[in-house]
Structure formats: structure tokens, C-alpha cells
A and B are shown apart, each in its own frame.
Chain A
Amino acid sequence: MNATRTICAATGFWLCLGGVVLAFLWHVSVGAKAIPLGTVWQAITAPQDGVFDHVVVRDLRMPRAIFALSVGAALSVAGALMQGVTRNPLAEPGILGLMAGATFAVIIGIGWFGLAGTAYVPLFAAIGALIGAVLVWTIASAAPGGATPLTLILSGAAVGGFLYAVESAAILLNEDTFRNFRVWLSGSLAGRDMATYLWALPWFIGGLIAALLIAHQITALAMGEETAAGLGVDTFKIKVAALGAVVVLTAAAVSVAGPLGFVGLVIPHLVRLFVGSDYRLIVPFSAIVGAGYVTLVDIAARVVLAPIEISTGIVTTMLGAPMFIWLVRVKL
């Protein structure tokens, strides 16, 4: 990286960070209840006990905004790593079965073992994500022709469809179980408890740090395995590290918000348009832009049909699937 580029990147980074702060402030300023900006500011800077407007800002909106930021960053970085390692522009935790696996495991954990709000939720999610990823990869590489992008995506869809069928079978005979799970299954940031988030926080941080540490090698890997090996990269080790980071990030995101589709697909592509193919830039920018994106999507989810809120996951899919379609048309 030469000096000009470094300056450019640094400027861009700070600009994006500023954008995220603005998105955060916007998130806590709007909602079903109209609260004057002055009151919002007061709630942030000088909160008073017993003022419900301050409670709304500090206890209802701010945690949710923080969840949105974390989940957005985690999923986008996971998507970026997957796209780099598999050299597949359509790779993403949702498309390649990790999210379905994590969601399934969380449902089992909460529904059967009553683990809601405990340290085990992210752990369950991680095991589920790992099993999902391994399953998808095994099926795809067992198919004739090997793990091509198409085969991976199809086997991801098959694994997702299978887990969804098992979930449906479990909820089909009981209307109230269905009521309790239908919002969760569509991916939502509403009503998530702080306890789960705090348990997931180390996972978020660990995953992001790991991603930043291997970003340099991912750049080499994205250019092809031979190139990477030629540059002295231990491809197997990096692949395992990347898989670990992706699983950890997906698990953290799913245990907080359920499955939010297509975030990991949209953001890295958007970022790549501006910063090129260096993963030392793609990873941090994906994190920051992804955080802002999910925060904005969550604002829309909360205000479009106010006073009713819609699931964040439904909105991310409605926005992300057209992006997927566009990518297929343009890139393939």
C-alpha cells in the first residue's frame, strides 16, 4: 500500500465510521413513539430516572441498535471471508447452510433444553453452524465435479430446506409453538435479551479479531491456491482459521438475532466496489458498512408499519435477494 492509498483508505474509514455513528443516532431517535430530538440527546447525555422517554431511548432502542451494529458487522465479515476463501461471489453464511444449522441448533437449545439467555446459546449456535457448513461442503464435494459454486449453493439450499422441514414438523401440531417461533424464525431484533448478547459478545470480538488477523492471507487465497502457496501462505491453515472465524461470527449473530438473510452477500460486494480486492481493507470496511446497513434496515423495519414492527430478517431478504439475482445476471 502506498501512502496516497493509505490516506484514502483512512479517510474513507473515518467517513464510514461517522456514517455508522449517524445511523446509530438516527436509530435511537426514531421509532413507534415520537420523541423530540432534544429529549433523545438528553437521554444519551444526562439520563434521568423515571422518565419513560429516556427509558425508551436507553433501554429499548439503544440495545437494539447495538445488536443491529454487531450482527451486521459479524455477518458481513463472515460473508467477505467466505467469498474470499471459496472464490465464490455468491458465498454467504445464509446461502451455504451455516445460518440454517445455527438457527436449528438454537431452537433445539431453547426449545428442548431451556437455554434461553445462557452462555450455551452461542455455543449451540456455533456447533450448529459448523455442522451445517461441514454438511454442505461434504455434499458439494461428493457430487461429481466437486465443490463448484453452483454445487455448494444447491447443497446449501438442500440442507436449509431439510432443517426447515424438521422445524416445521416440530411446530406444525401446535399453534402456540408456531406463534412463539414464527417471528424468531424470520430473523428479528425485537425483544432480544441483553443476557444473550453479553454471552455472544466475546464471540463477536474474537471472530472479528481473527478475521482481521488472517485478512492478508485471505487476499492471497482469493487470487488462487497456487498463487497463495507461491506467496508462502499455508492454505490449509488459513482455510481452517477462516472457517473458524466464519462459524464464530455466524453463531454470535444468530444467537442474538435469528437468521438475517443475505447481509453477508450484499455488503462485501458493495465494499469491494470501492476498496478493491485487498482483504486488509475489505474486512474492516465490511464490518463497518455492514453494521450501518443492518442498523438502517432495522430502522425501516420499525417505522414502515408503525406502531407494528416487522421482522428485520424479512427486510434484509427482500433487499438482499434482488442483489443476489443481479449478481447472477452480471457476474455469471
Chain B
Amino acid sequence: MKTLVWATATLFAVTSSALAQDTRTVTDDLGNVVEIPVTPQRIVVSRSDCLATPLIELGAPLIGAGSMQDDRFNNGKPFIRGATALYGTQFDADLVDIGFINQPDPEIIAALEPDLILIAAWAADNYDQLSAIAPTYAAACFDPPLKEWLATLADLVGMTAEHDRLMASYTFKLANTRAVFADRIGDPADVSVVFADPFDEGIYVADDYGTFTVVADDLGLSRITATDLGMLTDNGNLSFELVEELDADFIFSSHQSFFGQPPSHQMEVWRSNVPGFDDLLHAPRNNQLVIVDRSLVRAFAVDGLNTMLAVLTSQIAERDFVPLAE
């Protein structure tokens, strides 16, 4: 019996090594040296936003991903933050829910027999378990600039060519849009924009907020940042007393209906915390406050960049607006 088992095991080992693809060695963001397949065929990821969504866009062989759940979205079924809102992606037999993004179920991952596992560097306490299943790469995926991270990820899964093709679409549209801006506005730096989300505790303003930051900077718009406002961290909220410092040609806020923040609620938060808000700042006064879907702002995908580009173009360059007097 034992001999038979060994024979089978050896046979299996031989066949699988014959099938095994080439590997290469990389160092992840925690300093682990990982040997990963050059073109992985079965990928499992923990984070849905910065890992699963871009891989789905690339068409990578993603077979399992971490989920989130909320009664108000996707009929209460588990969803992939980003991809479900952007592409309507659902979990099914080909894309398995492996549990909550910060604490996935290792047994489900093992059952999927992945050849590459990607996790977030700040939620990597199960690294040892996961690397017993397959090569595991821990990525600090929120730290690098968005475009840089998308390129790194595509390289990790051996899909740089696909990534370049997607980025080419964005680069092409960007060049076109610049022409539109040049025609309508002249110097895009004359247009000031700010991204600010109102919460009851204060106004969330970031230095770097997803696709909005990338596209606004690529277009050369003047962007008001948290640093400009003298905020110590990205995570504090700006006091409503300083709302006038957000005076810009355009203010962008975001709504996330399934977290109880539909667009009307966000406007309500602005108005209830800043009496006379509609007349106070230039943007709301002139109908130049735009509320976009937060899934779009936080989308880790070239598709998100393209859509944001279209939003900024139609809101700023393809219509008349009242410029803020100097």
C-alpha cells in the first residue's frame, strides 16, 4: 500500500514538474524573498480593492478573492469592492469567496490550489500559513502611486503586455482630452479643483485620493491637497471652520450609497455642518460641486482612470463654467 502511495506521489511529482512553469524570484514589501511563477495560472488575493479589481480588469486567472458584505449593496451578497461596482462582478464557481479581506479562510484557499497568493502587507499575520499553500507575496498596495502599483501588479502576474494595452487607451484619451482643454480653457493650471468628502466630524481631504488625483494631475489642473491646508496626516478631518480654504473652481465629493451615503445625504452633510453652504463657496454657488461615485474614485483600474477622465472633461472642459475670481 505504502509503495503504491509513494509510486503515485512520485508519478504526480514528475508530471507536475513537467507541467510546472518557469519561476522567478521577487522580494515583497515585507522583505520576503518569494519564488513566483512567471505566468501564474491560479491566483488568489485577499484584498478586493487594490488586488482583485485590477486583476479582473487585466483578465488575469483570478480564482479566489476576499469579500466584503453590506445589507445595502448587491442584495446583501458578498461583493468585491471596486470590481462589483465597476463591472458587476459576482462570486461564483470560477471566482470563489475566500472570506473577509483582512482574515480569509486558509482552508478555502488551500482547496483552490492556487499557484500565487497576493495579500496586503498590513494584514499579513497569516503569511506563514498561506506560504505553506503557495508562493505568497505581501504588497503595500496603497503606498505607491496608483499607476505605478497597477504596473507592478501586472508585472507580478506576468501580464505587462495586457497592462500596456490598457494604459495605451488611457494615454490616447488623455492626449485627446488635453486638446479639448487647450481649446476651451487654455492653461489647465488656471482651473483649481479639490476633492473633499464631508463627514459629521469634519472634511476628509487627502493628498492622494485614487483616480481623481491621477487624472487631475495628468491634466495639469491645480489641485488643493491636505498638505496645502497644513494638515498633519491624511486621515484627520479638516475643521468645517476652514471650509473657505476649499474655495476652488470645482469641488468634488463622493457618495457611496451602500454605506448609507447616497448623494443627497452627502449634500445634506455639507449643508447641515456649514450653514449657508450653497452661497458661501464659489463651487456650490455656481453649480460646480460634483458628487461622484466613490467606487470610481477608489477604483484600482485603468477603466477607473478612463471614466474619471471623461467625468472631469465633461464637467470642466465640455461646458461653460464660472471661473473663480482671483
Contacts and interface: CB of A to CB of B under 8 A. Distances in A.
Contacts of B272: 193
A180 B266 CA distance: 13
A188 B240 CA distance: 15
Given A176-B256, A180-B260, A305-B232, A56 B201 contact: no
Interface in B235-281: 236-242, 244, 256, 259-260, 272-276, 279-280
B238 A308 contact: yes
Contact of A173 (B69, B233, B239, B241): B69
Interface in A283-328: 302, 305-309
Contact of B68 (A31, A174, A302): A174
Nearest to A32: B239
A191 interface: yes
Interface string B279-313: 11000000000000000000000000000000000
Contacts of B69: 173-174
Contact of A309 (B70, B201, B276): B201
Given A173-B100, A180-B260, A190-B200, A59 B275 contact: yes
Interface string B30-44: 000000000000000
Given A55-B276, A308-B202, A177 B236 contact: no
Interface in A55-78: 55-56, 59-61
A137 B274 CA distance: 44
B259 A176 contact: yes
Contacts of B260: 180
A147 to B, nearest CB: 38
Given A32-B239, A32-B242, A174-B68, A307 B230 contact: yes
Contacts of A192: 200
A276 interface: no
Contact of A174 (B70, B202, B275): B70
Contacts of B279: 50
B12 interface: no
Contacts of A60: 240-241, 273-274
Contacts of A188: 201
B227 to A, nearest CB: 12
A191 B202 contact: yes
Given A173-B69, A191-B273, A307 B238 contact: yes
Given A52-B244, A188-B201, A191-B201, A309 B237 contact: yes
B231 interface: yes
Nearest to A311: B201
Contacts of B274: 55, 60
A33 B239 contact: yes
A190 B201 contact: yes
Interface size class of A (residues with CB under 8 A): 20 to 34
Interface string B222-234: 0000000111110
B199 interface: yes
A56 B259 CA distance: 29
Nearest to A305: B232
Nearest to A309: B239
Nearest to B236: A308
Given A173-B100, A183-B201, A306 B239 contact: yes
Interface in B192-236: 199-202, 229-233, 236
Interface in A171-216: 173-177, 180, 183, 188, 190-193
Given A50-B279, A55-B275, A305 B236 contact: yes
A305 B237 CA distance: 11
Nearest to A192: B200
A240 B43 CA distance: 64
B283 to A, nearest CB: 15
A58 to B, nearest CB: 8
Contacts of A52: 244, 276, 280
Contacts of B236: 305, 308-309
Contacts of B259: 174, 176-177, 180
B142 to A, nearest CB: 12
Contacts of B280: 52, 55
Nearest to B200: A191
A188 B242 CA distance: 19
Nearest to B294: A176
Interface of B: 68-70, 100, 199-202, 229-233, 236-242, 244, 256, 259-260, 272-276, 279-280
Kindly list the 7 A-B residue pairs having the minimum CB-CB distance in the complex, ordered from nearest. Answer: A191-B200, A308-B236, A32-B239, A176-B259, A33-B241, A59-B275, A32-B241
Given A33-B241, A52-B276, A305-B236, 4 more contacts: A60-B240, A174-B69, A174-B70, A180-B199
20 contacts: A31-B239, A32-B238, A33-B244, A52-B276, A55-B274, A55-B275, A55-B280, A56-B241, A60-B273, A173-B68, A174-B69, A177-B259, A180-B259, A183-B199, A192-B200, A193-B272, A305-B236, A307-B230, A308-B236, A309-B201
